[in-house]
């Protein structure tokens, strides 16, 4: 799987929205993504 950088633009309740327009459950963000600075 290829790495890609995404930005969280909205965080509300159990969902987050990425700059790509994709919405996913916040627990998946913690599980499937790693934070970079």
pLDDT tens readout for residues 1-37? 678 888 889 888 899 999 999 999 988 887 888 888 7
Give the pLDDT confidence score for residue 31 in this predicted structure: 83
Structure tokens at 10: 């909205």
Whether this model's pTM surpasses 0.85? no
Give first-to-last CA distance, the chain, whole Å.
21
Nearest CA among 18, 14, 12 for reference residue 33: 18
Domain spans of the chain, in order of start: 1-36
Burial of 27 (0-12, 13-18, 19+ CB in 10 A): exposed
């Amino acid at each position: 799987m290829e790495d890609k950088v995404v930005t969280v633009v909205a965080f509300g309740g159990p969902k987050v929205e990425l700059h790509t327009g994709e919405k996913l459950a916040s627990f998946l963000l913690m599980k499937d993504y790693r934070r970079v600075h």
